[in-house]
Amino acid sequence: MHRRHFLCFATVSFAAVALSAAQPDAAKAKAIPARMQEFVDRQVVAGAVTLVAQGGKVVALDAVGYSDLKTKRPMRTDDLFWIASMTKPITGVAVLMLQDEGKLSVDDAVEKFLPEFKGQMLLATKTPDATVLKKPGRRITLRDLLTHTAGLNSDVPETGRDLMLGERTLAYALQPLSFEPGSKWQYSNPGINTLGRIVEVVSGQNFADFLATRLFQPLGMKDTTFWPSEGQARRVAKSYQPGPDNKGLAEVDNYFLKGLPLTARWRTAIPAGGLYSTAGDIAKFYQMMLSGGTAHGKRFLSATAHQQLTSTQTGDIKTGFTEGLSWGFGFQVVKQPTGVTAMLAPGTYGHGGAYGTQSWADPKTGTIYILMIQRARMQNGDASDIRKAFQETASATWVR
């Protein structure tokens, strides 16, 4: 089952329009949901929402399968998904907005804003008998956090309660670094969470309020939140993993919630991966990025900040979960298209999420690719067959 919608951006807000004659015919446009339905039929996923935008227009928005297998509720294009690490680029944008205001620099030391990081040591050697620490060659910077090259460890004590961002960053600061800052890449939720805490300290707002007032509300991202309302919660797609003996699909809780209520606003807003959103909302964010950091006649990012976010900042350091990737500030950047990114141009930027969600913007063609699924225990969501199939089909159908 699938539903099709053709929409356009009106300065990033959506309005229904007829497709121009230059667009593929309706039969050809059915290729994307038909391809996604194959994964539903094979019980790889319960359902999926896909969105393709090009040249400022949403040219395809489709839903297939189910958001709830038990009740057989059909997937809808406005269903919410846990986007997990797709939150990270949004955190990066928040940091660069503050840099534009002169309140921080990506080259500032983290300890300038969070004194608990002063004197942080580096793990030199560790044996069963002894742990040897030494002073690192330099202090970690915001740039290191944005590119996952700081070497922060993820040890957070189990306290039996949800730790606030300030408590989490204190725990990170008390752990020795894994490697010299800037010397290698190691994917780091603690690093992005630390950036979120810096946003709080510098802006004087809690992290969720900063995102809501500075990004989500101005962009019209009404369904993007750390805490879905009761009404939104009814639209959250259920998460699934392979069933016993890898047969069928079994419902699974969002592990990131750690058993806490979905709607509880007292849960900590996690900058590294706590957001829920819809395909349409994420398209608004990426359209703002493709428009050079502007939307609705408002500039959200300077040209310099936009360039820093979306271009390689990691040099020749090997990064990412698939070949040919580099890292910008919060965004992954395609350096050499290959494999799952073969259909994307160099310079395409975006990010995936733990349960297989994907969001990418190709500045060469002006195309946005958004895949929303909720599938746990994928071997590598960034390299998944469903992501590749979606991007291949979308690019063959829509990209000119």
Same domain, 208 and 186: yes
> Does 288 map to a domain?
no
Please tell me whether residue 75 adopts helix, strand or coil conformation. Answer: coil
Helix (H), strand (E) at residue 207: helix 207-211
> Does 309 map to a domain?
no
Over the stretch 203-244, which tens digit does the pLDDT of each residue have?
A: 999 999 999 999 999 999 999 999 999 999 999 999 999 999
Query: Which comes out higher in pLDDT, residue 20 or 237?
Result: 237
Q: What is the Cα–Cα distance from 65 to 238, expressed in whole angstroms?
A: 12
CB-based contacts of 298: which residues, under 8 Å, 6+ apart?
218
Predicted pLDDT of residue 9: 39
Same domain, 34 and 155: no
> Does 232 map to a domain?
yes
Over the stretch 190-199, which tens digit does the pLDDT of each residue have?
A: 999 999 999 9
Give the total number of structural domains in the chain.
Answer: 2
Same domain, 87 and 230: yes
Same domain, 132 and 268: yes
Q: By mean pLDDT, which of 61-75, 121-135, 310-324 is the weakest?
A: 121-135
The answer to whether residue 324 scores a pLDDT higher than 50 is: yes
For the residues of 29-46, what is the DSSP string, one character each? HTHHHHHHHHHHHTTS-S
Over residues 244-254, the mean pLDDT reads 93
> Does 316 map to a domain?
no
Tell me the three-class secondary structure of 80-145, residue by residue.
EEECHHHHHHHHHHHHHHHHHCCCCCCCCEHHHCCHHHCCCCEEEEECCCCEEEECCCCCCEHHHH
Same domain, 217 and 260: yes
Query: Which comes out higher in pLDDT, residue 260 or 11?
Result: 260
The answer to whether residue 41 scores a pLDDT higher than 50 is: yes
The answer to whether residue 26 scores a pLDDT higher than 90 is: no
Q: What is the Cα–Cα distance from 155 to 158, expressed in whole angstroms?
A: 9
- 157 pLDDT band (50/70/90 cuts)? confident
Over residues 322-334, the mean pLDDT reads 97
> Does 19 map to a domain?
yes
Q: Residue 172's domain is classified under what CATH number?
A: 3.40.710.10
Q: Please give the residue range of the domain that contains residue 63.
A: 1-38+55-79
Same domain, 18 and 165: no
DSSP 206: -
Same domain, 62 and 114: no
The answer to whether residue 5 scores a pLDDT higher than 60 is: no
- Cβ contact 78:27 at 8 Å: no
Same domain, 7 and 128: no
Same domain, 72 and 100: no
Q: What is the Cα–Cα distance from 93 to 275, expressed in whole angstroms?
A: 15
Same domain, 241 and 258: yes
Over residues 176-186, the mean pLDDT reads 97
- 14 pLDDT band (50/70/90 cuts)? very low
Over residues 274-289, the mean pLDDT reads 98
> Does 238 map to a domain?
yes
Predicted pLDDT of residue 385: 97
CA angle in degrees (0–180, nearest 5) for 193-137-183: 60
